[in-house]
A and B are shown apart, each in its own frame.
Chain A
Amino acid sequence: MKGIAPVIIVAIIAIGALVGWGLYLQFGLVEESSYERLFRDLELVNVENTLYIIREDLSQALLYSFYQAFFEVFSNSGFENSQNGIAFWRDYNKVNTPPIVENINSRTLQYFNEYKEEIRDKSGLELPPSEKVSFNLAENLLVINATSNGFITTSGDIQAKIPDVELGTKVFSSNFYSDFLSFSNYLSDEISKKDKLKKIFYEANESTKRKPECNVISIERCENENPNIPQVPQECLDLFKNYVHDYLDDWNKNLRKHLPKTLKFSLEIKNERTDSRLSLISSTDLGESKDCGCKVLENEECKEYYHKYEEKYDIEYLGYAKLLFKVSKASNIPLKDALPVFSSKDGKNVKKFPQLMFYIRSGTLRAS
């Protein structure tokens, strides 16, 4: 019995320790660590989701930035800032075609960084500003990328970060945007590379002159008469005007051929002037003519009559026009492409279709 006593004592101590350990695990360590881990896990999930959601939210912010930039640049005739009214893309030889895509691009970047700043302030996340926005057309889709070199980083106990590179990639499902831009670029080429309007007036001039009576005017004039500049026949001026209108119509039709189905386009002649200019090309002496009266009179007998001349004038037809171009979205397309934008005119957010309007002024006659 004596020999068993220490064993029993050890066994009791062991059992006591085991029970104590069990109770400690039961009420202390396990519960504490378990809840600690649970909250830590939930916090991690929150951080992970917040980062992911903010990233997706930035993607939407990029889209809104683009909408606003697109709307504003088009409202400003393609320029980045307001031109105080509808701007001229061509004013005679002065070409001022705006770099539309670049302007939309830089304004998108500006607005997107403003969004980022506000999201950063409200979320407490570190958001580096984006350095570049790029547009890529792929199979009638417009893809927008905003890139920066930093990370979106959380603050607080759990530090987490995700790369901000190529953030906010967005694909539009509509080809309206790409149509709008490509047609505007086509118009820009038509107007800046070729002074098409001026060419129209030249061509109308050439066509009118194919009619002999509208090409050269011949008059006879006595040398004792004051030079009398002849009048260009009204029918020739009307013919020239008709040619101008025909050629403008042809141009309009040709532009329409390049117009995507989603767009509406109009060309409006705001003010037009036509005129003519005469230049003396020959003066032929037809000799003395009794019609012209006596030049030298001796003893009541006319020794010399005034000479008669045949003068030929070349007619040049001149014209000038100011054209208003309007490019907008076709009305039969569903409303989904109206952009949610801020209209400074209305002072609030509205849904609007962007409209590009601009003038060209050209011709062979400089308007007074």
Chain B
Amino acid sequence: MGIVATSVILGILMPLLLLKYHIDIRIKYNFEHRKSTLFLVSLFNNQPQREKFGNYLGNLESDSGLTEFFKKYGVTCYKISLPNEEISEGNCELKTKITIPVAKPFNPDKKTESVTWWFE
């Protein structure tokens, strides 16, 4: 009986529990990842803030406005790598990374800057 019970636990219940664990991890990671990039999508969707950041890249604004923006969304940990500087907040493991060419005010030589966004 003991052998049968052990076999059932090892053979059926354990894999099922493990499967659930993996699914949970997947959902959690997926959710976290979506949540992180959602802020970025929100930023690009917010025209005044997006323009403020673009103008900052074109040296027409002294403040990128990002700290304020992300705070509003409750994002406390991020890093943004610009060509010549880094804007960062918080101390955490940055797992999500997206690199996007961001449009800045017209310049005949260079119209975009490649910006890398890191999130928790």
Contact = CB atoms under 8 A, between A and B. Distances in A.
Interface of A: 11, 15, 18-19, 21-23, 25-26, 30-31, 34-35, 37-38, 41-42, 45-46, 49-50, 52-54, 56-61, 63-65, 67-68, 111, 114-115, 118-119, 122-123, 170, 340-342, 348-351
B60 A351 contact: yes
Interface of B: 3-4, 7-8, 10-12, 14-15, 18-19, 22-23, 25-26, 29-30, 33-34, 37, 40-41, 44-45, 47, 50-51, 54-55, 58-60, 98, 100-108, 110-112, 114
Contacts of B7: 15, 18-19
Nearest to A344: B108
A73 to B, nearest CB: 13
B26 A54 contact: no
The 7 closest A-B CB pairs, nearest first, are A18-B11, A34-B22, A56-B44, A68-B106, A122-B101, A61-B103, A25-B15
Contacts of A348: 59
Contacts of B103: 57-58, 60-61, 64, 115, 119
A34 B25 CA distance: 9
Is the contact region of chain B dominated by helix, strand, or loop, or is it mixed? helix
Contact of A30 (B15, B40, B41): B15
Contact of B60 (A54, A58, A60, A349): A349
B101 A123 contact: yes
A123 B100 contact: yes
11 contacts: A21-B11, A23-B10, A25-B19, A30-B19, A45-B33, A54-B100, A58-B103, A63-B47, A111-B106, A122-B101, A340-B58
A63 B29 CA distance: 36
Nearest to A60: B103
A38 B29 contact: yes
Contact of A53 (B33, B41, B104): B41
Given A22-B15, A30-B15, A64-B104, 11 more contacts: A15-B11, A19-B10, A25-B19, A38-B30, A46-B37, A46-B98, A57-B100, A57-B102, A122-B114, A342-B107, A348-B59
B106 A26 contact: no
Is the contact region of chain A dominated by helix, strand, or loop, or is it mixed? helix
Given A21-B11, A34-B23, A119-B112, A342 B37 contact: no
Contacts of A19: 7, 10-11
Given A45-B30, A49-B40, A115-B112, A67 B105 contact: yes
A15 B29 contact: no
A328 to B, nearest CB: 20
Nearest to B55: A340
A174 B19 CA distance: 56
A349 B55 CA distance: 9
Contacts of B47: 59-60, 63, 170
Nearest to B107: A342
B118 to A, nearest CB: 13
